[in-house]
């Protein structure tokens, strides 16, 4: 490779300075110093924004924009009813119908402890319904008010 | 410190702060201007940096302890200011998905104050491709012919590391010139 840099003329300044630049620059520097000292002397002047805030601001603005767009789109879908209930997967142990049943009043029978019921009846005999025979209860249950799996769980 | 430095500091300490500052500016402004201009190429950018340097010098002059010459101290402030400026420009260029070196190359071509020949323009473009710290070492050594010892005082880098950095910069610039002549 040829050693171009050994050419002495390359070390000379390749550009000129605008005429009167240095005198102007001095004036500007003095003016800026006076302005900055004046501003520093003022009480209650606006505080300078820290560098980290200035650096983070664009990223935060971008993140906020995405958040707003997402919230706006979600609101639109929610209003127009486009959002649907998520269907339970086929492999789930409890079907949608079963879940509906347990959420209804009928399902309450599953969570009433028979021991509690018997204790309640013994303490409040007037509440006991002695007029129903076992056969009446079996018939009532067998008439389709409860699914088979509920009956199987009952003692 | 030389006698000029002592005169400036004595004037400053005697309360003639503005006069001392004016002497300091007039003594070093041109040399500092060329140092910055060779680093950033553009006159307007140089002007901004130089103004900031002198404002910082004015604020820091009361704390100047005199453990190095005023020239070394000024060069240190100027170098830090210029490297910060270049890093900021590089970051802005990166965020706008552009390349600051190529922007600088265009600005050199369009610079109304550029009076050099083709080789000088190519040299400026080659310098614009160097990373800021390497560019600083190259400018101080090649154009200003400073000794490694002086550069080490300004930059705080060891002489060995400076020699390696200058060697790499020299190789890169030569390669660029060879490819573009």
> How close B17 gets to chain A, by Cα (Å)?
12
B3-180 sits in which CATH class?
A: mainly alpha
Note whether B30 contacts A5, CB cutoff 8 Å.
no
> How close A102 gets to chain B, by Cα (Å)?
57
Of B33, B37, B54, the CB nearest to A29: B54
Closest-approach residue (CA) in chain A for B58: A33
Higher pLDDT, A127 or A118: A118
Q: What is the CA radius of gyration of chain B?
A: 17
Tokens encoding B36: 């910055």
The Cβ of residue B27 has, within 10 Å, a number of other Cβ atoms equal to: 17
Cα–Cα distances in angstroms (integers) from residue B78 to residues B45, B55, B100, B136, B138, in the given order: 13, 11, 21, 11, 15
In sequence order, what are the residues at sequence separation of 6 or more whose Cβ sits closer than 8 angstroms to the Cβ of residue B39? B82, B86, B127, B132, B135, B136, B139
Q: Per-residue pLDDT tens for B136-148?
A: 999 999 999 999 9
Note whether A29 contacts B51, CB cutoff 8 Å.
yes
Q: Per-residue pLDDT tens for A54-78?
A: 778 888 888 989 999 999 988 888 8
- Is A9 a domain residue? no
Tokens encoding B103: 């922007």
Task: Residue A127: give the domain boundaries.
Answer: 105-153
Q: How confident is the model at residue A94 (pLDDT cuts 50, 70, 90)?
A: low
Cα–Cα distances in angstroms (integers) from residue A124 to residues A69, A115, A120, A128, A132, in the given order: 61, 14, 6, 7, 17
Higher pLDDT, B26 or A123: B26
- Is A95 a domain residue? no
Higher pLDDT, A91 or B136: B136
- Number of domains present in the structure of chain A: 2
Note whether A17 contacts B25, CB cutoff 8 Å.
no
Angle made by CA atoms A102, A104, A107, in degrees to the nearest 5: 45
Q: Does residue B165 contact residue B157 with C-beta atoms inside 8 Å?
A: yes
- Residue A127 confidence (pLDDT): 66
Of B29, B54, B170, the CB nearest to A5: B170
- Is A92 a domain residue? no
Statement to judge: residues A72 and A112 lie in one domain? no
pTM above 0.80, yes or no: no
> How close B115 gets to chain A, by Cα (Å)?
5
Q: Please report the residues numbered 96 through 155 in chain B whose beta carbons come closer than 8 angstroms to any beta carbon of chain A.
A: 111, 113-117, 119-121, 123-124, 142-143, 145
Statement to judge: residues A141 and A109 lie in one domain? yes
Note whether B120 contacts A26, CB cutoff 8 Å.
no
Tokens encoding B96: 């706008």
pLDDT at B46 over 60: yes
Closest-approach residue (CA) in chain A for B120: A10
**Which residues of chain B does A33 touch, with a Cβ-Cβ cutoff of 8 Å?**
55, 58
Size of interface A-B (CB pairs under 8 A): 79
In this predicted structure, which of A23-27, A37-41, A110-114, B111-115 has the lowest mean pLDDT? A110-114
- Is A137 a domain residue? yes
Note whether A1 contacts B175, CB cutoff 8 Å.
yes
pLDDT at A13 over 70: yes
Percentage of chain A modeled with pLDDT above 70 = 63
Q: Per-residue pLDDT tens for A40-54?
A: 776 544 555 667 777
- Is A130 a domain residue? yes
């Amino acid at each position: 490779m040829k050693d171009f840099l050994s050419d002495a003329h390359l070390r000379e300044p390749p550009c000129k300075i605008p005429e009167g630049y240095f005198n102007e620059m001095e004036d500007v520097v003095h003016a800026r110093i006076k302005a900055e000292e004046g501003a520093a002397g003022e009480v209650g002047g606006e505080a300078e924004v820290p560098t980290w805030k200035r650096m983070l601001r664009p990223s935060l603005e971008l993140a906020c924009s995405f958040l707003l767009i997402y919230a706006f789109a979600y609101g639109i879908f929610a209003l127009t009813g486009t959002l649907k209930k998520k269907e339970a997967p086929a492999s789930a142990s409890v079907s949608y119908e079963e879940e509906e049943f347990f959420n209804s009043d009928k399902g309450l029978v599953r969570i009433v402890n028979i021991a509690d019921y018997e204790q309640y009846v013994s303490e409040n005999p007037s509440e006991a319904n002695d007029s129903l025979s076992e056969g009446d209860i079996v018939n009532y249950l067998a008439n389709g008010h409860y699914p088979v799996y509920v009956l199987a769980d009952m003692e | 410190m030389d006698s000029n430095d002592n005169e400036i500091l004595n004037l400053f300490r005697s309360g003639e702060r503005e006069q001392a500052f004016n002497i300091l500016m007039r003594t070093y402004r041109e040399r500092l201007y060329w140092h910055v201009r060779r680093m950033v190429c553009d006159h307007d950018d140089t002007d901004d940096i130089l103004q900031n340097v002198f404002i910082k010098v004015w604020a820091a002059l009361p704390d100047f302890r005199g453990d190095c010459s005023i020239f070394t101290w000024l060069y240190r402030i100027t170098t830090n200011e210029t490297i910060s400026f270049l890093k900021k420009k590089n970051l802005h260029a990166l965020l706008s998905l552009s390349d600051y070196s190529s922007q600088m190359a265009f600005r050199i071509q369009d610079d109304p104050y550029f009076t050099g020949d083709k080789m000088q323009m190519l040299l400026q473009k080659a310098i614009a491709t160097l990373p800021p710290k390497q560019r600083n070492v190259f400018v101080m050594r090649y154009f200003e012919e400073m000794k490694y010892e002086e550069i080490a005082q300004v930059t705080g880098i060891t002489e060995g590391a400076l020699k390696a950095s200058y060697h790499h910069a020299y190789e890169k610039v030569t390669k660029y010139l060879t490819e573009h002549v």
